[in-house]
Amino acid sequence: MSIKSKIENSSSSERILIIDDDLDFSDSLKLILDHENYNILLAHDREEALSAVENQPVDIALVDIRLGQDDGIEVLTEILKIKPDVICIMITGFGSIETAVHALKNGAYDYLRKPVNPEELLATIRRGFEKIRLIKEKSAIENTLKEIEQQIRASFNQAAVGIAHLSLDGKWLTCNEKFCQMVGYPHDEIQKISIDEIMHPDEIGNTRKKLDELIEGEIHSFSKETQCLRKDRVSLWVNLTVSPVCSPANEPLYFILFLEDITKRMEIEEMLQSLVKDLAEANQNLEDFTRTASHDLQEPLRKIISFSDRLRVSLENKIDDREKEYFLRMEKSAIRMQKLIEDLLKYSRISSLPPEFESVDLKEVVQEVLMDLEVSIERSKGIININNLPRIEADKTQMRQLFQNLIGNSLKFHNPSQSPKVDLDSVYSETGQWNIFIQDNGIGMKEQHIKRIFKPFERLHGTSEFSGTGMGLAICLKIVTRHHGKITVKSSPGQGTMYVVELPEKQN
């Protein structure tokens, strides 16, 4: 085979095919191009040229217009049929301007005359490879754009929300499958109607007004929860978002519209509102019942206590000690029930009435509580240490109840062999919460009992050991919860108890 297909300077990937029947001339071109590290192929007639193009990668072909018995322009045409992206540069010493124009019309990239100027040759070759580079870059960009377009189209069609393009006069241009499913119109029908056809009659005017504001540039987008009408005229709630798509000159071209079906959410919200209303009515009824029951129960109890005391006094010398004990037990039970009703009423009020938040100095609150507990403190010889206590937003009355119950518990459940000691301190956390510590040296409790103590009427000790109704810590938990806080307990038998009350500095 006479074609010189051996590729020299294989380090380069830029391949040039020289097609010329003049061996000396083709060798001289090869010598010039070898210095530029191009890979060179040589062909001396039509057959070798076409074989090279078919079997070898070729970027640029230098084609002599006269190839012995062959026409270079015909060879040019056949090369481009095989590989249309080959850059063909025609070379001749006999052609005219008409020949050059004819070659260019048949697909030649450029035209060089013999004898070839080496600088002109290299410049033309470089321009040819630059064109190849630009073509490859353009092709890569076009492929990338096609991929992006396919991805956008797939996202558009497979989106979980309805997406549509709307003309400036309110006509549908295109939409995805989800949009058609939501409004109940197929693709071929949706483009025949306007936005008015799917809007609830009460919403058409306002929606049109918003579209006009988008066109005028008064707003950049709008979003609202509104009602739409399906083709079957069934109403559905949607979250509608509309934005304009603008030209480089910032002139609106059309609207892009997003439609999210929120019918189920609205139904749930409506159901919740109904439940909240029912709950509020139930709470009001419960509060009314609690107040009435408390009043109606306390009055008979007062009479039981009063007449029992009178009867016991009047029979003082007529009854024995055992009968006197019966009277005392009856009075104590009635008094305990009276206290239980009072605590139940407090618990109900805290549960039903919202706190009245104000700036409260907890140190002042505790000092007021200590004045109320003065008798208990003196009787037990208790020691109360107040360290750092913050100022927070809270209901002052409920804060007094909280600390009175907690400090009162520490005084009540003390070790008989030593005087009660209560330390109060606090630490501010980065979350905007105050952790308030109430530590005592009392009898403590087992870990398994800690979860029980915040339940209403829950007692760990009998009334003969410690008085009370079992409502104190339940009231504390309710107060702290209503203040968006938490209360925890750390304790062990004989080691005292520490209450940790976490309260926000500011109420949202």
pLDDT in tens, 392-408: 999 888 888 889 888 88
> Which neighbouring-strand residues pair with 166?
172, 255
pLDDT at res. 424: 93
- Between the alpha carbon of residue 117 and those of residues 20, 92, 93, the distances in Å are 17, 13, 12
| Confidence band of 343 (pLDDT split at 50, 70, 90) | low
* Distance (Å, whole) CA 483 – CA 501: 11
pLDDT at res. 291: 66
pLDDT tens figures, 97-145: 777 788 888 899 988 888 889 999 999 999 999 999 998 899 888 888 8
Strands of 340-456 (E only): list them: 358-361, 383-386, 391-394, 421-428, 433-440
Question: Residue 459: is its pLDDT beyond 50?
Answer: no
pLDDT at res. 443: 80
pLDDT at res. 40: 92
Question: Residue 74: is its pLDDT beyond 50?
Answer: yes
Question: Residue 280: is its pLDDT beyond 90?
Answer: no
Q: What strand order describes the sheet that includes 235-246?
A: 172-175, 162-166, 252-261, 235-246, 222-229
Residue 275 CB-half CA count within 13 A: 6
**Residues 110, 114, 115, 117: what is their CA dihedral angle, to the nearest 10 degrees?**
-10
| Confidence band of 12 (pLDDT split at 50, 70, 90) | low
pLDDT at res. 322: 82
| Confidence band of 8 (pLDDT split at 50, 70, 90) | very low
What average pLDDT score do residues 319-343 get? 74
* Distance (Å, whole) CA 411 – CA 472: 13
Question: Residue 273: is its pLDDT beyond 80?
Answer: yes
* Distance (Å, whole) CA 18 – CA 295: 116
Backbone angles phi, psi at 294, to 5 degrees: -60, -45
Structure tokens at 90: 């025609």
- Closest by CA position to 82, among listed 54, 61, 43, 58: 54
| Confidence band of 303 (pLDDT split at 50, 70, 90) | confident
- Closest by CA position to 65, among listed 118, 22, 123, 16: 22
- For residue 303, the one-letter residue type is K
pLDDT at res. 491: 81
Angle between helix 396-412 and helix 472-482 axes, rounded to 10 deg? 150
> Average pLDDT over the chain, rounded to whole?
83
pTM of the model: 0.42
pLDDT at res. 257: 93
* Residue of 347 and 36 predicted with greater confidence: 36
- Between the alpha carbon of residue 240 and those of residues 114, 120, 201, the distances in Å are 72, 65, 15
Secondary structure of 441-491 in HEC code, one letter for each residue: CCCCCCHHHCCCCCCCCCCCCCCCCCCCCCCHHHHHHHHHHHCCCEEEEEE
Structure tokens at 179: 């949009």
- For residue 320, the one-letter residue type is D
* Residue of 313 and 12 predicted with greater confidence: 313
CB under 8 Å to 485, separation ≥6 — which residues? 433, 501, 502, 503, 504
CB atoms within 10 A of CB 76: 23
- Most confident of the following: 66-80, 237-251, 281-295: 237-251
* Distance (Å, whole) CA 422 – CA 438: 7
pLDDT at res. 298: 67
pLDDT at res. 4: 42
